[in-house]
Amino acid sequence: MTKPEILAPGGSPESIYSAINAGCDAIYAGGRRFGARAFADNQDNDSLIEILNNIHLAGKKLYLTVNTILTQRETFELYDYLSPLYEKGLDAVIVQDLGVLKFIHKEFPQLQIHASTQMSITGGMGANFIMPYGVTRVVPARELSFEEIKQLRRTTSAEIEVFVHGALCSSYSGQCLMSSLIGGRSGNRGACAQPCRKKYSLNGLDMEYSLSLKDLCTLEHMPLLVQSGIDSFKIEGRMKKPEYVAITTHMYRKYLDIYMDKGEKFYNESVLSSKEFSDDMKALRDIYNRGGFTSAYLIKEKDKSEILSGNRPNHEGVVVGYVNDVYKKGVSITFTDTVNSGDILEIRDKSGNKVHDYTPGTGYITGDMININAGYNNRLVKKGMQLFRVRNNKLIDELLTAYPVTMCNVPVEGELHAVVGKPLQIVVRNQEGTVTTSVYGNEVKEADRHPADEEYIKSKVMVKGNSDFAWSNLNVHLEGNAYISPSELKNIRRQVLAEHRVNLLVRFRNELAEKSGYEECVSKVKSDSSVNIIAECNHDNQLNCLLENDNVNEIYIQYDLAESVIRDGNITGINKTFYIVLPRIIRSKIVYQNIEKSIRLVKETNNFFKGIVVCTLCQINFFASLCNELGLVMDSYDNLYVRNSYANSFLKEEGIYRTIASIEMSEPELKELNTWNDGKVIITVYGKPAAMITDRTPRQAGTLKDSYGNIYTVVDRNEYNEIVSYEPVNRIDSVNSYKCNNYRVLFTDENEKEIKTVLEDIRRQLY
């Protein structure tokens, strides 16, 4: 059984070095560009190269996040951004954008590519589809269960990287537009404003954190993690502090090693019930937790109390006391746990709201009772309120002492040969013994008096100096009464360590090929000058309206309507083209089989239906063979973002007839679309898009109202929920400036009158 990698987040240099010192195997971090954590302490390329070298000296790996959707202009900057890091031996890149995937595979063929969880890969079909493009590892959707991960392991040879600890998105990663639609901060561009951490009212109930999930913690499931065939344990937290990275890395290193050494029986029967494990879990909660921890979708928890974060969307802390009485001039507190000088404590009401905070100037133990002055907050404090600790000062100090935020010296060992009449020689090797460096000095002279001894030589050689190394052992071989000056020993030590550093790093270097250029991805020829209006509908009334509307050329019909439409035959004789829109997420074999059955039914009436609209890589792979057999056309949709010519080219090479431009494209981008559009890229000019695709929370149809009174429609699609934006994207007034052949309108809850108005407005703009 392969021992999984511990992959730690590197949101800052301090976090990176704490993770290394805490025992990680690899780090994932972002640069100043193209990373999904735009507000982390990301480094420029020079700093990243220094960090990369240090990571390699420590025997670890660095995976660079290039996991945002790039604009067309940004693709022209990607080569210069990556090339210096590639030359220095960058171990892998994490990618979401299909255009970036295509680009990197072509320009940096030796660079391993990891498919981001933003790609929403839920099965082997999706993983296998992108492996020919240099993808060696996939990070599947976080919604998968252990059984689904095992199935993924059985159906792909790609490495599998799974989140094991940290924050969870309510949405399928990569399928959330809520932050972008509300405030213009795109999660697909690394600037998510975390709207899922806000309060919402579900179906008219009280406002609560209906979309905010607890943090993931899987330590108790270590046997299942390993047995599922996971290659890498990923810890979320590039926005977290070094102490968080240190403790999470240390804990997963510790308990993975215990399991691999002692086995499942010992782990389940001895480790999980031990006081040590209980204390470690408490320490993890002390550093950061949202309403406790959850194993989330891995174990298929059903009760929302087991996955929602409760009264708070941020750090809950741990309970360390309670208010036992309230006086006119103060508050009496009893401690139920040890607190330290400098801890930050909060008194909270039943709703989780802070009514007063307090920082003790001295430590207290369980049972201690003190009086504090709550000032103006005294009137808010009530007897029985709990006291939470949100910063454990002592624990943080201990963590940063044990796992410092600076690079520790790399251990080396070696020997020094001093033979009178021969050149002085020093040999250094790394601890693994895989790299050896030998340096010769001057000829060793006979000593007149006080010949060198082993203690003298070690005192001059086994010092750190300004190097990155620390000596673990030095064997000294002396022959004759050798005289070696201190300066000679100092110089040969400096020289051998400098050359050893070069020898250690040169192993990672890549040779950079000449840049190939971008011309092949920019189409200069339009297919024709015709204009298609494509309307997507969600229910029968909308479909009937569209069938009668002469302004519509093509109609997209949701899959759950398609069978009844074909069966009833109410599109017979209609001079329009029809497509079936597949579900956004398909994970069930039964659903795939039912869809295949429906598509074969389409074959029997293919004078009406011309194709299917696919939503994920898994769907492209699954339906590709059926496309050839049935003569279907496939269009990319939503999660298959097209924001640059490389993404468009990727999908076209895979048989996609038409693609849909990302709904997040800016007006200037849409107006420049014709510089690389071949006439078959579709622009959405009107519609309420899905703001979020979520596996749960809530799993029912209804409404979701935010604190501003905006109401989102929640659609239950059987395998997932679709939370529809409260207002439409409307670009009808700019239609003429896009110079496009295909315009899409998306109807969700619009009535017949609204549909007619939208289509007439588009017609007026175009003609």
Please list the helix, strand and coil fractions of the chain in percent, rounded to the nearest 5, in that order: 35, 25, 40
pTM of the model: 0.93
| Alpha helical stretches, state H, 525-586 | 540-547, 559-568
Query: Taking Cα atoms as reference points, which of 108, 66, 69 lies closest to residue 86?
Result: 108
Beta-strand relationship, 135-138 and 293-294: unpaired
- Report yes or no: 63 and 30 within 8 Å, Cβ to Cβ: no
Residue at token pair 């750190």: 464
Paired tokens of 23: 């025992």
Radius of gyration of the chain (CA): 31
Give how far the C-alpha of residue 467 lies from the chain's centroid of Cα atoms, to the nearest Å: 35
Beta bridge partners of 554: 534, 577
**In this structure, which amino acid lies at residue 314?**
N
Say what the pLDDT of residue 32 is. 80
Give how far the C-alpha of residue 253 lies from the chain's centroid of Cα atoms, to the nearest Å: 20
Say what the pLDDT of residue 724 is. 94
Task: List, in order, residues 6 or more apart from 593 with CB less than 8 Å away.
Answer: none
Beta-strand relationship, 659-660 and 633-635: unpaired
Say what the pLDDT of residue 630 is. 65
- Report yes or no: 391 and 315 within 8 Å, Cβ to Cβ: no
Q: Measured between alpha carbons, how far is 452 from 418 in angstroms, rounded to an integer?
A: 9
Provide DSSP, 11-71: SSHHHHHHHHHHT-SEEEEEBSSS-S-TTS--B-HHHHHHHHHHHHHTT-EEEEEE-SPPP
Say what the pLDDT of residue 631 is. 67
Paired tokens of 47: 């700093």
Q: What average pLDDT values come out for the chain (767 residues) when binned by 10 residues?
A: 93 96 96 71 84 95 94 91 95 96 93 96 95 97 95 97 96 90 85 91 90 95 97 96 98 98 97 98 98 89 74 95 92 97 96 95 96 92 97 97 94 96 96 93 93 95 89 96 96 96 94 72 59 91 92 90 70 81 88 83 70 90 76 75 91 88 92 80 93 76 91 89 93 90 93 96 90
**pLDDT digit string, tens, across residues 450-497:** 899 999 999 999 998 888 999 999 999 999 999 999 999 999 999 999
Q: Measured between alpha carbons, how far is 598 from 604 in angstroms, rounded to an integer?
A: 10
Give how far the C-alpha of residue 86 lies from the chain's centroid of Cα atoms, to the nearest Å: 21
Say what the pLDDT of residue 287 is. 98
- Report yes or no: 743 and 533 within 8 Å, Cβ to Cβ: yes
Paired tokens of 267: 């782990």
Say what the pLDDT of residue 726 is. 93
Residue at token pair 């300066």: 487
Helices 486-506 and 45-57, packing angle to 10 deg? 100
Q: Measured between alpha carbons, how far is 500 from 494 in angstroms, rounded to an integer?
A: 10
Q: Mapping DSSP to helix (H, G, I), strand (E, B) and coil, where does residue 243 land?
A: helix
Quick one: 568 exposed, middle or buried, by C-beta within 10 A (0-12, 13-18, 19+)? exposed
Query: Taking Cα atoms as reference points, which of 24, 16, 234, 232 lies closest to residue 136?
Result: 232
Q: Mapping DSSP to helix (H, G, I), strand (E, B) and coil, where does residue 154 land?
A: helix
Beta strands, E only, 361-407? 369-372, 386-391
Q: Measured between alpha carbons, how far is 149 from 161 in angstroms, rounded to an integer?
A: 10
Torsion of CA 43, 44, 46, 52, to 10 degrees: 40
Query: Taking Cα atoms as reference points, which of 334, 330, 331, 332 lies closest to residue 321?
Result: 334
- Report yes or no: 606 and 579 within 8 Å, Cβ to Cβ: no
Provide DSSP, 487-504: HHHHHHHHHHHHHHHHHH
Say what the pLDDT of residue 719 is. 83
Paired tokens of 439: 């340096």
The secondary element (H helix, E strand) that includes residue 286 is helix 275-287
* Angstrom distances, CA of residue 707 to CA of 199, 290, 541: 7, 21, 32
First to last CA, the chain: 66
Q: Measured between alpha carbons, how far is 500 from 438 in angstroms, rounded to an integer?
A: 8
- 233 phi, psi to nearest 5 deg: -95, 115
Paired tokens of 491: 């110089």
Paired tokens of 581: 């829109």
